[in-house]
Every structure is written in C-alpha cells, then in structure tokens.
Amino acid sequence: MRHFSLILLAGLAACATEGGDQAGGAGAVPVVSAPALLAQRLPAQAGSFQRGATAPIDQPLPGVEVAYATPGRSAAGFVQVVRPPAVAPPDGPGSLVVQDEYQRVIAAAQRGSGPHRRLRLVRESDQPPGAPLFRCADLEGAYGRTAVTSTTCVGAAGGQLLRLRVSMPRRDPPAADPRAFIRDITEALRRGGG
C-alpha cells in the first residue's frame, strides 16, 4: 500500500508540474528581474515587422522600448517592457495593474495630443485568442489629415508590464496585420526568445 501511495504522489506531482501551462497549452513566461531582460526575448521579426532600436524609457514607468517597422515603414509599432508599479503581475491581461494601465493608455489615445490626433475605440479583445497575454483595443482616427488605424495593447509577462502599439495609414488592404505581430511577440516571450 505504501508503494502505491508513493506512485500516486509521484503522479500527482508530475500533473502539477505539467499543469503550469495556461489555457490552450501556452506556457507561462519565465519571470525576469528587469524589463531589459524580458525585452531581449523579443523577436527580430514579428509578423511583417522588423525589430529596430531599443531605447530606455521612464514615463510613466521605467523600462525599455523596442521599435518595430515594416519594410518601407508603411506601418510602425513598438513593444514597451516596464517595471510594474508594485508587485509583479501574473502573465496575461487579468490583473488589476494591467487593467488600470489599459484604461490609462486607451484614454490617452482617445484624448490625443491636440485636435488633429484623436482616435476612437472600434473594438476591444484579448489577444492572442485562446491563451491571451494582452488586452487590446483597435482604434481609428486621424493624425492631421491622414486617416489611421492603430492597435494598442497592455499585458503582463515574466513579472513585467507590457505595452504594445501598431499604427498605420488606414487603407484596404491594410499595410500589415497587427494580430500576426501580437501572436509572434507572444510566442517569442513564451518560448524565451526569437
């Protein structure tokens, strides 16, 4: 009987280890001690976007920003990895710190930086589908006379807060696929780099 109990315990321990995955089979992002360490995991290419320069940021939270752009710069984006204001949030869009930052970022985008840079909310979703890491908003509006579309997301991974944005002139077909960008960023973070 004691032998059976040990086997049962070993089986339960194995299940607990395997159960660390999130819904949809997506694993948790390993926790890092600094935003720059998580930014190192971002891929050289995400969707049709190529990785550009990495720069430090400090407003409103300290961290780093990694620039991305499509060939010909018809679409541009960034991923900001910032230190959370308090306790490290769990991966995904569900924590209070992510929800608060999402509301702040969307309100700022809708307010704009003047009468010629306002965006309106078109749709909200958790991305990528199935095992989301981000809460996202699709926005439309204008930068001056240019009609634009923008996807803005906030999430958490590896104990850090993430902000992501992709913007491009509004046209049909679009210059790039924001969902492919988000998917590839998420996959790179979960597998530990690109």
Distance CA 146, CA 162 (A): 28
For residue 171, which phi and psi values (nearest 5 degrees)?
A: -160, 170
Q: Identity (one letter) of the amino acid at 51?
A: R
3-state secondary structure of 161: strand
Whether this prediction's pTM lies above 0.75 is answered by yes
> In the prediction, which pLDDT does 78 show?
98
Q: What are the residue ranges spanned by the domains of the chain?
A: 28-191
DSSP letter for 130, please: T
The tokens for 47 are: 């969707």
The CATH code belonging to domain 28-191 is: 3.40.1000
Cis status of the peptide bond prior to 178, with omega within 30 of 0: no
Say if residues 49 and 69 touch (Cβ distance below 8 Å): yes
What are the tens digits of pLDDT across the range 167-189? 999 998 999 999 999 999 999 99
Per-residue pLDDT at 18 exceeds 50:
no
Dihedral angle, C-alpha 135, 137, 143, 149, nearest 10 °: 110
The tokens for 183 are: 């998917």
> In the prediction, which pLDDT does 158 show?
94
Residues 6+ apart with CB under 8 A from 156: 84, 89, 90, 91, 92, 93, 95, 97, 98, 133, 162
What are the tens digits of pLDDT across the range 64-119? 999 999 999 999 999 999 999 888 999 999 999 999 999 999 998 888 766 667 78
Distance CA 100, CA 108 (A): 12
Which DSSP string corresponds to 14-81?
HHHHHTTS-GGGPPPPPP-SSHHHHHTTS-SEETTEEEEEEEEE-SSS-EEEEEEE-GGGSSEEEEEE
Q: What are the C-alpha distances in Å from 82 to residues 33, 123, 147, 194?
A: 11, 25, 30, 19
Per-residue pLDDT at 13 exceeds 50:
no
Mean pLDDT of the chain: 85
